[in-house]
Amino acid sequence: MLDKYEGKAIGITAIIIMVFLFSLLYVTGKQKTDVVECVPYDKTYTTPRINQIDSTTYQVFAVAKMWNFEPSQIYVPVGAEVDFFVTSGDVVHGFNIAEKNVNMMAVYGGINKTTVKFTEPGIYKITCHEYCGVGHQNMQAEVIVNYPNNY
Ligand code: CUA
How far, CA to CA in Å, does 34 sit from each of 27, 40, 52, 70, 116? 11, 17, 20, 22, 8
Ligand 1 atom 1, closest CA:
93
Centroid of ligand 1 to alpha carbon of 97 (angstroms): 14
What is the distance in angstroms between the CA of the first residue and the CA of the last residue of the chain? 70
Q: Which atom of ligand 1 is nearest to the CA of 139?
A: 1
Q: Which atom of ligand 1 is nearest to the CA of 136?
A: 2
Sketch the domain layout of the chain as residue ranges.
Answer: 1-32, 37-150
Centroid of ligand 1 to alpha carbon of 81 (angstroms): 25
Q: Is the dihedral of CA 138, 45, 82, 77 positive or negative?
A: positive
Q: Which residues line ligand 1 (CB under 6 A)?
A: 64, 67, 93, 128, 130-132, 136, 139
CB 132 within 8 A of CB 93: yes
CB 140 within 8 A of CB 128: yes
Centroid of ligand 1 to alpha carbon of 19 (angstroms): 39
Centroid of ligand 1 to alpha carbon of 46 (angstroms): 17
CB 87 within 8 A of CB 53: no
- Answer whether CATH 3.40.50.2300 is correct for domain 37-150: no
pLDDT value, residue 21:
80
Q: Which atom of ligand 1 is nearest to the CA of 133?
A: 2
pLDDT value, residue 22:
77
Q: Which atom of ligand 1 is nearest to the CA of 129?
A: 2
Centroid of ligand 1 to alpha carbon of 134 (angstroms): 9
The predicted-structure confidence for 60-74, as pLDDT tens digits, reads as follows 999 999 999 999 999
Low-confidence residues in the chain, pLDDT < 50? none
For 138, which DSSP code? G
pLDDT value, residue 32:
54
Global confidence as pTM: 0.76
